[in-house]
Amino acid sequence: EKANIEIERSNISNSKIAITAKDSASLKIKYFIPKNFEICAAVYRKKIEFGGGILEIPKKSCNKNATIVQRNSNLIEK
């Protein structure tokens, strides 16, 4: 909740959701390699008292069909 995190490098495997940002949190990952997941990235609001999340990942890290982006949340691919 309301976290602001930057991660230089992340290798995530064998996970239902590889990476998520929620409840007014901002997460930026510079190097991201997800493997063996159901959902690559999810950005949403879980608790009503917060806003949506912001997630920034490298381009082509996730297939659009494997992402969840709730209204008022942002998935940025750079």
Instruction: Flag residues of the chain having pLDDT under 70.
Output: none
Distance CA 41, CA 29 (A): 12
The DSSP element (H or E) to which 11 belongs, if any, is strand 4-22
Distance CA 71, CA 4 (A): 20
Give the pLDDT score at 67.
Answer: 97
Distance CA 41, CA 23 (A): 15
Give the pLDDT score at 64.
Answer: 87
* CA-to-CA dists, residue 33 to 11, 19, 30, 36, 51, angstroms: 5, 10, 10, 10, 27
